[in-house]
Amino acid sequence: MHIQTRTLQKSDYHDLKETMIEVYSGIGGDYWPKSSITKLLNIFPEGQFCVEVDGKAVAIALAIRVKYDDFGDNHTYYEITGGYTFKTHNDEGDYLYGIEVFVHPDYRDLRLGRRLYDARKELCEQLNLKGILAGGRIPSYNKYADELTPREYISKVKQKEIYDSTLTFQLSNDFHVRKVLRGYLPGDSESKEYATLLEWINIYYVAEKDKKPHTDSIIRLGVIQWQMRLFKNLNAFLEQVEFFVNAVSDYRADFMVLPEFFNTPLMADFNDLPEPVAIRKLADFTEPVRDKLCELAIAYNVNIVGGSMPLVDEDGKLYNVAYLCRRDGSFEEYRKIHITPNEVKHYGMVGGYEIRAFDTDCGKIGMLICYDVEFPELGRILAQQGMQILFVPFLTDTQNGYSRVRHCAQARAIENECYVAISGCVGNLPRVQNMDINYAQSAVFTPSDFQFPTNAVKAEATANTEMVLIADVDLSLLKELHEHGSVQVLKDRRTDLYDVTLKKAAKKALKQKKASPDNDPEEVAPVIVVAD
């Protein structure tokens, strides 16, 4: 599945019509004629959005820009749209007025409406508008009209005593009810022709034209400090994962990062087996967990760095793999390069061969797993590829092991002029060999200069306590640092004397791995081959 939020195009009309008929079947199945959509796209193309799923537009948001004082709070849908002609649109308007939002019923479990609202909010900030206004239907009001006034009904929806598919969603997206409108949409029997005048306020709006509005350079991170605990089964484990995804999504996080080997509680059922066998049994869960993380990334609109998990590749070798599950439905993988002596001794793991920064909708990121961050060459190569945020899932059992990861991660942030987020496991895990104790203090580190905290720590968790760490990082500060910092580490390197380079490209490395045993990690530390 591939999901994309984009501006609506004229070629999307067939999908729009089909979706509108499905959505409004309860009130006659009305839909906008093609001429109206064409006019909207001609006068305000940047204000019309859709969410495309596998090539089909299944969620649509239509809007105009208005000078709201020309209408005031007492208006109807007919009036605000200029008799459905959109002649009320004004390129100098101070509010974005939403005239339609609808999602095809078959896709409502993907939470696509939130993406449309987020797109509108971003446009509002870019255009430096005061906010967003919309007349919202209250389709469940007809069930309560005999006992509740519209005001009482809205109050109960706010208090979550009543669920209204439209109003509940709008309130959860930071809109507030400004007024109750009468006769807003004639013929809307479900709402008894009432509507709520909803408003979202752009807190970045500035009246002075010479001031810059807010930009999208601020990225919100959700770092999970994961408590090791036993689970009844895979579903119980995934429920705990979804709890954290939901939590960071409520804070509108752009990224969520989980720790290294966060799924090892699932090894409890294999504790009677030798450790090399048990870890390969655990690897059977990796693909289903990865698929679930991809689903959650879509449903909750957050990019997920899925910690790390064991993976048995087609070559029969065991790798330690971290996944980037983007919120557009795509995913990438990174295989731990440097395998610890413990991973070799107990599991027979081997190292990966590819060092690569990944593109996301929030800039370029890198992933290094635990021990990898102790090798400065990897961070430097990623920085040369444009990395802005480095995610480091880790798992350490002792405080001195944690200190190595922490201090090296801080060094990577300073020397590569980037942000680094580390996420670890805490607590004890009985009945799982070699994973019984854990120590962590997850954190977000920054470069060290005037733009950043004096200790170069943006945020840090309480040691050995399960929690969620929410932190905002500003990518524009990295550019400022690179150009005007007190010291400019990346610029001041003496490349006439030294450099850090990849010896071979990833594809070539993989071919070399298969062709030449001299470059195989097996020659460094023998792999333990286990038969079931």
Q: Is 260 a catalytic residue?
A: yes
* H/E segment holding residue 507: helix 506-515
Q: Residue 262: helix, strand or coil by DSSP?
A: coil
Q: Is 513 a catalytic residue?
A: no
Question: Which member of 124, 294, 370, 408 is catalytic?
Answer: 370
Return the number of other C-beta atoms located less than 10 Å from residue 151's C-beta.
11
Q: Residue 328: helix, strand or coil by DSSP?
A: coil
Give me the residues paired with residue 409 across strands: none
For 299-335, give one letter per residue: b (16+ CB within 10 A) or e: bbbbbbbbbbbbbeeeeebbbbbbbbbbbbbebebbb
Question: Which member of 52, 199, 260, 417 is catalytic?
Answer: 260
- For residues 213 and 128, is the Cβ–Cβ distance under 8 A? yes
Tokens representing residue 442 in the block = 């997850």
Q: For residue 185, with 0-12 CB atoms within 10 Å meaning exposed, 13-18 middle and 19 or more buried, which class applies? A: middle
Residue 174, phi-psi category: left (phi > 0), alpha (psi -120 to 50), beta (remainder): left
- Those residues whose C-beta lies under 8 Å from the C-beta of residue 284, and which sit 6 or more positions away, are none
- For residues 288 and 251, is the Cβ–Cβ distance under 8 A? no
Q: Distance between CA 185 and CA 24 in Å, rounded? A: 13
Question: Which member of 336, 343, 425, 513 is catalytic?
Answer: 336
Closest CA to 524 of 513, 508, 515: 513
For 405-433, give one letter per residue: b (16+ CB within 10 A) or e: bbebbbbbbbbbbbbbbbbbbbbebeebb
Q: What is the 3-state secondary structure (H, E, C) of 278-317?
A: HHHHHHCCHHHHHHHHHHHHHHCCCEEECCEEEEECCCCC
**Cα–chain center distance at 216:** 14
Return the number of other C-beta atoms located less than 10 Å from residue 381's C-beta.
18
Catalytic residues: 260, 336, 370
